[in-house]
Amino acid sequence: MKFFGKVLLIAAAVMMAAAPAFAADPGHVKIAPNGKGDLLFFPFYYADETGIATKLTVVNTDETRSTVAKVVIKSWLTSTEVLDFLIYLSPADVWTGYIAQLDGQVVLVSYDDSMLTAEGQWASLENVVVQPLVFPKDEGNFMGYIYVINAATDVDVDGAGVAPDTQKLGRAPGVAKKDIKAWYDLFNDSNPRDLVAVSGDGGFLDEAKPLNILAGWMELTSQYLYNMAGLNATTLADYQNLVYLPSGVTTYLDNRDSANTMADIEAALAKNAVAMPYVNAPFDLEEITVHMFSFPTKGLADGVTSPYFAQVYDAETNPLACITVDRKIYDLSENSTTRVFSPSPAPDQFCWEVQPILTSGFPFTEGWARYSFPNLMSGLFGRTIWGSAAGISYTGAPVIPTLFDITFDWTFTSLRYGAWTDGAVTVTVGDVTIYPVQGFNDMVKYPYSNIPTR
């Protein structure tokens, strides 16, 4: 009992030391256990001249609240922002769009009326968005990744629609998009960094708090006619955007715009090791597996905003912030390249924000591979939402692993996530560890990516 009391006193001291952050913090950023959140990652998109495109879907799962979200599309090599825009979602609304290649240029295509084509003009079948993605000249324009931030939600505090009523828009599907935009634009002024969701004392304004109500899916399609493979977005909850997010301005995934720091986000995504199956032309069939590794926090174009990748970045010797990943390849009988019943290491250099590994070079026709990531942040403590006196450390890397198969007719199939071991996270204040601690909100029962609401 004395130990438990001591832990509570330490936690209370941390909260007092960081009152503004905790006043605006109903919970730490985490992988959403129910697939709904306020930050979506589409691990990759792909578009080529054969007609393969990526369809994106973002859903407002709330039937009574409108919300505004920002879609940010990044390049695959340096995380350069190649396009961003806002979507205005009425209750139960859905936005869809395609990333496709037209006449050698990768473009966003959408006729969804949740987005603008120009000021005052909403997309439709008669007014289709065809917006080029602007890649750096030395990067291929066929691949990248995407994140979607819930910027602000029209919230009714008590949820019953009674006085005091803070909800400004309608409580049923069909709220006019122009009304949603007008409501959101009230939070903008001459300074686009003004807080949209925080009052003067650091607490959320109830009527604008971005809720965990977004869900998302991606689909690889062919000629817009049929879907080859689909995947739900990697969804984080309690990211907690704090600012008015305009279009056309770079949006950072850290506490310049959010209540959480980049280290907090990386800790939620951290994985020690990843396991993925593969096929490599089995039975003489022209079919291979592609392993994809997405690092959405790396931010090379933004000056390596990632605490993890900052440990290896060097402008002269390691300008792409490459990491060495230990890869072990098994066949179906536990054989490896050189020994029986024991895998042999084959280190890889991972240098890109979206890193594909083609298994056509694997020594076996079928099996699985294990990728182990270096512990660059183990014992190093970054800034955290837990407060200015606290530090956060984690093992593994902030990675999203996916895979799919390519068949003999260039069809992409079986898109899915890999399996993994979560990174171990530690939060300290001085010499005292406050997470994980037995008895403190029972958080020791949960991985850091699934910490329940405090």
Judged on CB neighbours under 10 Å (0-12, 13-18, 19+), 284 is: exposed
How many residues would you count in the chain? 454
So what's the pLDDT on residue 103? 86
CA distances from residue 48 to 53, 77, 357, 413, 415 in whole angstroms, order as listed = 7, 17, 18, 16, 17
Q: Which residues pair with 169 in a beta bridge?
A: none
Give 226's contacts (C-beta < 8 A, 6+ positions apart). Answer: none
351 vs 242, higher pLDDT: 351
> In whole numbers, what is the pLDDT of the chain averaged over residues?
81
Predicted pLDDT at 15: 40
**Structural fold of domain 1-27+269-454:** Hypothetical Protein Tm1070; Chain: A (2.60.290)
Alpha carbons 364 and 402: distance in angstroms, whole number? 20
CA dist 437 and 424 (Å) reads 13
Residue 32 · residue 144 · CB < 8 Å: no
The H or E element that residue 177 is part of is helix 177-185
Check residue 69 and give left, alpha or beta (phi > 0: left; psi -120 to 50: alpha). beta
Contact (CB, 8 A) for 90 and 107: no
Q: Minimal CA–CA distance to 172: which of 249, 82, 261, 60?
A: 60
What pLDDT score was predicted for residue 287? 83
Give the pLDDT score at 7: 39
Span 177-183, average pLDDT: 93
Q: What backbone torsions phi and psi does residue 141 show, to the nearest 5 degrees?
A: -105, 30
Pairing type for strands 288-294 and 348-350 reads: unpaired
Cβ-based burial of 88 (10 A; exposed 0-12, middle 13-18, buried ≥19) = buried
Q: Please give the pLDDT value at position 164.
A: 55
- Cα 377 vs. chain centroid, distance in angstroms? 20
Residue 102 scores a pLDDT above 80: yes
Q: What are the tokens at 317?
A: 């010797």
Q: Measured at the alpha carbon of residue 210, what is the angle toward residues 204 and 215, in degrees to the nearest 5?
A: 160
Kindly give, in sequence order, each residue whose CB lies less than 8 Å from that of residue 336, ignoring residues fewer than 6 positions away: 328, 329, 330, 342, 343, 344
Nearest residue to 404 (alpha-carbon basis) of 216, 82, 143: 143
User: Domain residues of the chain, as ranges?
Assistant: 1-27+269-454, 32-260
Alpha-carbon distance of 429 to 407, in angstroms, equals 52
User: E strands along 200-315, which residues?
Assistant: 214-222, 226-232, 234-237, 270-279, 288-294
Give the CA radius of gyration of the chain. 23
Cα–Cα–Cα angle for 237, 239, 241, nearest 5°? 135
Read off the pLDDT band of 323 (50, 70, 90). very high
User: What pLDDT, on the 0 to 100 scale, is given for residue 67?
Assistant: 96
Residue 308 has pLDDT above 80, yes or no: yes
Weakest mean pLDDT among 156-165, 170-179, 216-225, 428-437: 156-165
SS3 422: strand
pLDDT of 444 strictly over 70: no
**In the predicted structure, residue 216 carries a pLDDT above the cut 90:** yes
